[in-house]
Amino acid sequence: MSQQFIKLILPLPALFQIQMSSDEEPHVFPVIPDTHEIPCPLCEKKTILHSKKRRRFRHGHAWGVGALWIELDVPRQRCLSCDLTFVYDYGLGLVRTSTEVFRKGITERCHGRTISDVAHEYELPYTTVERWFYQYASVVYFAIGLCSELQKKVQNFASKYLIS
């Protein structure tokens, strides 16, 4: 897989460098974030690395391969001012073994299909897909609905005031 193609199927913020997967595990892509200051979420002061854990998360999907995983060091930071420790997830919405992009992508695929159908196709437990669906459907479909709603409004406006 070319670097360009990998970036397309594994969309990530620009601060991440995606490495090639190994022959043994072609579906796992190690990613390396740029080092940058991570401010405390409570007092916004400077934090330092407290510990880190290498973890894997489902992030994309490819035909014939299945789920594509990213592997990264997830840091736990400690605030030098207020002593708070917290896990920093780079805004990826890391929960258990998936990223938010992955969960929303699966929810989108439930559009016009049954949850069991999608669960089967992506080899995920039914209850997992169901949970994501109810968590994200309103957000995902609101965005889709909003677009067609807006189009309708523009058309109505045009036919009322511009054409006549």
Among residues 125, 121, 65, which one has the least CA distance to residue 97?
A: 125
Q: 82 vs 158, which CB is nearer to Zn ion?
A: 82
Asked whether position 42 contacts Zn ion by CB under 5 A, the answer is: yes
Asked whether position 48 contacts Zn ion by CB under 5 A, the answer is: no
Q: 43 vs 150, which CB is nearer to Zn ion?
A: 43
The amino acid at residue 16 is: F
Q: 45 vs 50, which CB is nearer to Zn ion?
A: 45
Q: 18 vs 84, which CB is nearer to Zn ion?
A: 84
Choose which of 8, 43, 87, 154 interacts with Zn ion (CB under 5 A). 43
129 touches 106 (CB < 8 A): yes
Residues 65-104 that bind Zn ion (CB under 5 A): 79, 81-82, 84
For the chain, the distance separating the N- and C-terminal CA atoms, rounded to the nearest angstrom, is 55
Tell the smallest beta-carbon distance from residue 86 to Zn ion (Å).
9
Task: Report CA-CA distances (Å) from 162 to 25, 147, 152, 159.
Answer: 59, 21, 15, 6
Choices 38-46, 93-101, 115-123, 128-136; region in contact with Zn ion by CB under 5 A: 38-46
Question: Which DSSP symbol is given to 139?
Answer: H
Helix (H, G, I), strand (E, B) or coil at 155: helix
As a whole number of angstroms, the distance between CA 120 and CA 130 comes to: 12
Tell the smallest beta-carbon distance from residue 137 to Zn ion (Å).
36
Asked whether position 158 contacts Zn ion by CB under 5 A, the answer is: no
Site residues for Zn ion per CB under 5 A: 40, 42-43, 45, 79, 81-82, 84
